[in-house]
Amino acid sequence: MTAMTQRPNLSKHVNELLILARLRVGPAHGYEIALAVERDSNGAFSFQHGTLYPILHRLEQERLIRGSWEGEGRKRKTYQLTTKGEAYLKGEAREVKTLFLNLIRVLEGPAHALG
């Protein structure tokens, strides 16, 4: 209930954080982000049917990431984390961690906590 109140669309928020976390490693194209998230999470998280791009472009509009066109011949768009994005990721990661710890505590029950 608390989670629902705090994060009305948790999966969307997690997707945002997954993108930002991948970009913390270094600049990447959209497809590299999609591939890395799926692989690094052992398939637990995956951007199905282009859910990636609306999130990427929204993060770009919010200046949490910066997109730039690069390359010879046909241009490719590369994204990188901004300073604002880095600070946002740090804060949100802390919040999500607390949220999940609380969730686990509830799921495991008071008996487990006492034990």
Q: Under the rule (CB under 8 A), what is the footprint of another protein?
A: 29-31, 34-35, 38, 46-54, 57-58, 61, 73-77
The residue among 51 and 80 lying less far from another protein, judged by its C-beta, is 51
* Closer by beta carbon to another protein, 38 or else 86: 38
For the bound state, the minimum distance from the C-beta of residue 82 to another protein, rounded and expressed in Å, comes to: 18
Measured from the CB atom, the residue of 74 and 113 that comes closer to another protein is 74
Tokens of residue 97, six digits: 């961690």
Min dist. Cβ of residue 57 to another protein (A): 5
Q: Whole-number minimum distance, CB 100 to another protein, in Å?
A: 26
Closest CA to 65 of 48, 50, 78: 78
Q: Please, where are the H alpha helices in 1-115? A: 2-6, 10-25, 30-40, 52-61, 83-114
The gap between the terminal CA atoms of the chain, to the nearest Å, is: 25
How near is the Cβ of 93 to another protein at its closest, in Å? 24
Give how far the C-alpha of residue 31 lies from the chain's centroid of Cα atoms, to the nearest Å. 15
Please identify, using beta-carbon distances, which residue of 43 and 115 lies nearer to another protein.
43
* Rg over CA atoms, the chain: 17
